[in-house]
Amino acid sequence: MKTFNEQCYDLLMQITKGKVTTYKLIAEALNTKAYRAVGNAMKNNPNVLTVPCHRVVNSNGYVGGYVNGIEKKIELLKNEGIYISDNKIINLSGYLFRF
């Protein structure tokens, strides 16, 4: 059995460019309700190149947090065609990734 964060990373790596997901969906995909634990896993993220944690946002549409700074996260998403206004995703439901 992989650790909780390993499972989170596996899911994140499945996300294609231009798509996003939420902490809740990740937890749901793991058949748990550890929303907060998912966030903890992101913080423990070993490497942003293998784990695109910038594609994970809050369920309410807000960007959430990022180790390198929220602005950096916004910039990365914007670079993938996802626009953000006042720290929240414009059309979240349209960009959600299907696991």
Counting contacts by CB under 7 A, is residue 67 touching DNA?
Answer: yes
Q: Could you tell me whether strands 56-57 and 21-22 are parallel, antiparallel, or unpaired per DSSP bridges?
A: parallel
Catalytic residue flag (residue 8): no
Beta strand 84-85 pairing with 88-89: antiparallel
Q: Is 58 in the site for DNA (CB under 7 A)?
A: yes
- On the CB side of 91, CA atoms within 13 Å amount to 6
- What minimum distance in Å lies between the beta carbon of 83 and DNA? 16
Residue tagged active-site, from 42, 53, 77, 84:
53
Binding positions for DNA, 31-50, rule CB under 7 A: 32-40, 42-45
